[in-house]
């Protein structure tokens, strides 16, 4: 089990990172809520990880906070929720807000998350009520290190990366394109586009 990674952040392409640890590059997928708080490429990073071994792949998921990782582990115990869907859920909504949704039986917010239909939302509400008791006072604020500059790239590349990230989270290509088309993307980096698109899609009725 790989439970923690500390190294140099080499590449960021939501939701995937490449982290160098002693000359070995680890590909790690993170929820977009954590992606927004990542440091610049070339800086040190520490991630709490969850390692998944399948017949056809070995996957590593990373989180900035241990509690966020524990919530991920609770999610994948729910019938019908795998790591990919759990990552999409935590990308579409902050962990603390998800806990509140479950505690308040807010099914309408849950069904707006990528990949979550009504049956899955109902299952989450039923199966996670007792499991989330330890998360009642979560989350502490995490220190955010957001991009304050960097290399300028064309708007098309930023939009393309944002669309790819939304599709990776479970949205259909048409949904991703529509969500981005209504935004004013001028001057925005891909992570900002993703954040605004997800916010609008989750809140949309």
Every domain of the chain and the residues it spans: 4-63, 66-135, 155-203
pLDDT at 137: 57
Largest Cα–Cα distance in the chain? 48
Give, in degrees to the nearest 5, the angle at Cα 194 between 162 and 60: 80
Q: What is the predicted pLDDT for the residue at 190?
A: 82
- Can you say whether the dihedral through the CA atoms of 172, 195, 75, 145 is positive or negative? positive
Decide yes or no: CATH 3.40.50.170 for domain 155-203: no
Task: Give pLDDT tens digits for 53-97.
Answer: 888 889 999 999 898 999 999 999 998 899 999 999 999 888 888
Query: Which one of 3.40.50.300, 3.40.50.11540, 2.40.50.140, 3.40.50.720 gives the CATH number of domain 4-63?
Result: 2.40.50.140
**Homologous superfamily in CATH for domain 66-135:** 5' to 3' exonuclease, C-terminal subdomain (1.10.150.20)
- Which residue's structure tokens are 């990782």? 69
Residue 205 pLDDT > 60: no
Asked whether 130 and 74 are in contact (CB, 8 A), the reply is: no
Q: What is the mean pLDDT of the chain?
A: 83
Question: Of the candidates 113, 110, 112, which has an alpha carbon nearest to the alpha carbon of residue 123?
Answer: 110
Q: Give the whole-angstrom CA distance, residue 101 versus residue 172.
A: 24
pLDDT at 6 over 70: yes
**The two structure tokens encoding residue 116:** 């979550």
pLDDT in tens, 161-181: 888 888 888 787 778 888 888
Write b or e for each residue in 38-62: b if 16 or more Cβ atoms lie within 10 A of its Cβ, otherwise e: bbebeeebebbbbeeeeeeeeebbb
pLDDT recorded at residue 64? 92
């Amino acid at each position: 089990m790989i439970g923690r990674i500390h190294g140099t952040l080499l590449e960021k392409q939501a939701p995937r990172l490449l982290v160098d640890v002693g000359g070995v590059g680890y590909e790690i997928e993170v929820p977009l809520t954590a992606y927004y708080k990542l440091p610049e490429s070339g800086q040190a990073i520490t991630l709490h990880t969850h390692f998944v071994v399948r017949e056809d792949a070995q996957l590593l998921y990373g989180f900035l906070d241990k509690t966020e990782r524990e919530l991920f582990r609770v999610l994948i115990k729910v019938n019908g929720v795998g790591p990919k869907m759990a990552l999409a859920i935590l990308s579409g909504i902050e962990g603390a807000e998800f806990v509140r949704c479950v505690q308040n039986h807010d099914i309408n917010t849950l069904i707006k998350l990528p990949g979550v239909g009504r049956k899955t939302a109902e299952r989450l509400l039923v199966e996670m009520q007792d499991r989330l008791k330890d998360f009642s006072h979560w989350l502490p604020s995490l220190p955010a290190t957001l991009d304050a500059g960097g290399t300028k790239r064309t708007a098309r590349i930023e939009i393309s990366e944002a669309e790819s990230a939304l599709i990776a989270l479970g949205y259909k290509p048409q949904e991703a394109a529509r969500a981005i088309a209504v935004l004013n993307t001028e001057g925005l980096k891909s992570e900002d586009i993703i954040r605004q698109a997800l916010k609008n899609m989750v809140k949309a009725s």
